[in-house]
């Protein structure tokens, strides 16, 4: 239903004649999609596997079906996608340049993202995965900054090459399963179950090649260092709404793939256990590298972009900590749940940061940290929102980022102590560059060259304030936070790990 609402909404928005019509249709469509996802959340039964399933055979001869459903991993991501898109429509209320096309692309993006998180058929999953590239390419290419063409093409090439590697791995799974068992199907749950139990007899070479192809596709999307170079360019040139969608939801597709596809495949008896170390190394290198590069940034938006790479590194570390060999299952489940929570938490935190940077650029005409200063004097509301976002991003207790990162580090430590110590070394510098940016941009003497600037507009303030409230709600002990963590994510995290051999791998 969400997919239908968003598709129809995008088409109608595209066909509207006036600015006001485009805004209202986009607002209603994204609002209905958000409402449906919240109703799904309220009707979700904890620990009951895949729910809200719809399954229709689409191309029976090839074993392709329209097969969708969500569990405790997919549902929070669907909510994140619909929430961020709805708030983006409000945030972009002032967008006047080709507004009907702009809002239609935001809705199309939302539809593709929901499709990725709800697909239970590999063919469908891949179609939606590729579909996310198109609206993003145009958002950067049409509404972007001065180097928009270069950034849009670079984004497209990088992510598309990664997708092709993933597609080849999907076809290999489909082909070997059909050849060995006689059943040609793209059904995700069936295929992952068959491969995780080793029911498809293929050589270790092939199973490791399949995992490698999938892993490459997901790591480029997250992105993990050294596959990250498309991200800072795309962020710096993208319009603010593009940056918010890119960092808050698009990067989560990579993390989602690790949970949904990589962990079950690693359970295969012939799969190499070295993949655990590979994922852990990528995670820690991403955390440390992005931290030191962020320390050197002069552009506020680039600084936030690099912080995203580090935060997604925690997801990789949590996944590695969850599948690594441990004497007890409790820390492994903690690491896995923490990594899922980190995806949701980082989504709302990074949206606040990119939203705030967009407001600053709009008001002052610059994002260079040295040219700013003393913004609290003229923009007190914005300064409060941005400060909250930065503190949440550096993992302040009482905010959602702390819950997620603390779970990942404590859960991964018994299995991967050296990696966790390295990541914790990075945390010190994460605090350093966040506090340095806050101090330089928001406090200190006011830069008179900026002239008389206005505070944040109401349509920009509402979405950012909602997100800040959500960050605090998800970071303090209360029924909402407990239900999301223990009621929705933890049963699924436990179920995903139950496929692995006793005690984990490696």
Closest CA to 167 of 115, 124, 104: 124
Percent of the chain residues topping a pLDDT of 90: 66
In b/e form, how buried is each residue of 270-296, taking b as 16+ CB within 10 angstroms? Answer: ebbeebbbbbbbbbbbbbbbbbebbee
Q: What is the pLDDT of residue 498?
A: 86
- Is residue 66 a contact partner of residue 190, using CB atoms and an 8 Å limit? no
Q: Give the pLDDT score at 48.
A: 66
Kindly report, residue by residue over 440-452, the tens digit of the pLDDT.
Answer: 888 888 888 887 8
Q: Do 316 and 309 touch, CB atoms closer than 8 A? A: no
User: Are 258 and 97 contacting, i.e. CB atoms less than 8 angstroms apart?
Assistant: no
Give CA angle at 163 (158, 167), nearest 5°: 155
What's the whole-number mean pLDDT along residues 375-389? 92
Higher pLDDT, 58 or 467: 467
Q: Which of 267, 265, 264, 257 is nearest to 119 (CA)?
A: 257
Say yes or no to pLDDT of 183 above 90: no
Q: Look-up: residue for tokens 């200190």?
A: 444
At residue 491, the pLDDT reads 92
Whether 506 has a pLDDT exceeding 80, the answer reads: no
Six-digit token string for 131: 């579909």
- pLDDT averaged over the chain? 91
Q: How far apart are CA 102 and CA 386, in angstroms?
A: 26
pLDDT score recorded for residue 471: 94
Mean pLDDT, residues 456-477 taken together: 93
Strand partners, 324: 505
What's the average model confidence in pLDDT over 264-285? 91
**Residue 346, pLDDT above cutoff 80:** yes
Confidence of residue 30 (pLDDT cuts 50, 70, 90): very high
Q: How confident is the model at residue 3 (pLDDT cuts 50, 70, 90)?
A: confident
Q: How deeply is 456 buried, as exposed, middle or buried, from its count of CB atoms within 10 A (0-12, 13-18, 19+)? A: buried
Give the percent of the chain with pLDDT over 70.
Answer: 100
Confidence of residue 365 (pLDDT cuts 50, 70, 90): confident
Radius of gyration from C-alpha coordinates of the chain: 22
What does the DSSP assignment read for 81-142?
Answer: HHHHHHHHHHHGGG--TTHHHHHHHHHHHHHHHHHHHHB-BHHHHHHHHHHTHHHHHHHHHH
Mean pLDDT, range 431-444, rounded to an integer = 89
Q: Per the omega criterion (within 30 degrees of 0), is the bond before 223 cis?
A: yes
Residue range 477-492: mean pLDDT, rounded: 91
- In this model, does residue 505 exceed pLDDT 80? no
Q: From 240, 194, 273, 483, select the one nearest 350 (Cα to Cα).
A: 240
- What mean pLDDT is predicted for residues 341-367? 93
Q: Rounded to 5 degrees, what are φ and ψ at 414?
A: -60, -30
Nearest to 210 by CA among 176, 181, 173: 173
- Tell me the per-residue pLDDT of 53-107, one tens digit each, with 9 for 90 and over: 999 988 898 989 999 999 999 999 999 999 999 999 999 988 888 888 999 999 9
CA neighbor of 300 nearest in space, from 379, 185, 389: 389
Burial (CB count <10 Å: 0-12, 13-18, 19+), residue 382: buried
* pLDDT value of position 289: 94
Q: Are 357 and 304 in contact (CB under 8 A)?
A: yes
């Amino acid at each position: 239903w969400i997919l239908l609402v968003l598709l129809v909404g995008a088409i109608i928005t595209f066909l509207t004649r006036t600015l006001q019509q485009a805004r209202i249709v986009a607002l209603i469509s994204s609002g209905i999609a958000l409402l449906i996802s919240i109703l799904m959340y309220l009707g979700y039964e904890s620990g009951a596997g895949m729910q809200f399933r719809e399954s229709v055979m689409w191309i029976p001869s090839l074993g392709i079906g329209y097969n969708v459903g969500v569990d405790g991993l997919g549902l929070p991501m669907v909510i994140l996608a619909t929430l961020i898109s709805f708030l983006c429509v409000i945030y972009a209320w002032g967008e006047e340049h080709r507004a009907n096309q702009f809002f239609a692309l935001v809705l199309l993006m939302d539809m593709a993202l929901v499709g990725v998180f709800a697909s239970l058929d590999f063919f469908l999953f891949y179609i939606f995965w590729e579909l996310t590239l198109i609206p993003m390419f145009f958002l950067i290419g049409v509404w972007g900054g001065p180097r928009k063409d270069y950034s849009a093409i670079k984004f497209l090439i990088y992510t598309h090459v990664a997708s092709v590697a993933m597609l080849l791995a999907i076809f290999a799974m489909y082909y070997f399963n059909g050849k060995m068992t006689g059943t040609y199907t793209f059904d995700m749950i069936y295929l992952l179950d068959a491969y995780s139990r080793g029911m498809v007899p293929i050589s270790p070479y092939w199973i490791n090649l399949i995992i490698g192809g999938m892993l490459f596709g997901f790591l480029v999307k997250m992105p993990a260092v050294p596959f990250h170079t498309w991200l800072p360019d795309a962020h710096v040139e993208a319009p603010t709404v593009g940056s918010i969608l890119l960092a808050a939801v698009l990067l989560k597709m990579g993390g989602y793939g690790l949970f949904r596809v990589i962990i079950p495949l690693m359970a295969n008896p012939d799969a190499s256990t070295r993949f655990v170390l590979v994922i852990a190394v990528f995670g820690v290198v991403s955390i440390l590298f992005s931290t030191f590069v962020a320390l050197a940034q002069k552009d506020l938006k680039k600084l936030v972009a690099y912080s995203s790479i580090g935060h997604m590194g925690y997801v990789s570390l949590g996944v590695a900590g969850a599948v690594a060999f441990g004497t007890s299952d409790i820390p492994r489940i903690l690491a896995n749940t923490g990594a899922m929570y980190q995806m949701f938490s980082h989504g709302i935190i990074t949206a606040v940061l990119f939203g705030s940077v967009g407001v600053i650029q709009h008001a002052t005409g610059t994002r260079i940290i040295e040219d700013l200063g003393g913004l609290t004097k003229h923009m007190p509301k914005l300064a409060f929102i941005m400060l909250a976002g930065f503190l949440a991003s550096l993992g302040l207790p009482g905010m959602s980022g702390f819950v997620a990162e603390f779970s990942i580090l404590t859960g991964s430590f018994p299995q991967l102590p050296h990696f966790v110590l390295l990541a914790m070394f990075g945390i010190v510098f994460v605090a350093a560059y966040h506090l340095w940016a806050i101090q330089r941009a928001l406090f200190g003497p006011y830069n008179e060259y900026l002239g008389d600037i206005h505070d944040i507009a109401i349509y920009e303030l509402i979405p950012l304030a909602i997100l800040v409230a959500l960050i605090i709600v998800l970071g303090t002990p209360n029924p909402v936070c407990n239900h999301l963590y223990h009621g929705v994510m933890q049963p699924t995290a436990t179920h995903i790990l139950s496929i692995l051999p006793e005690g984990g791998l490696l």
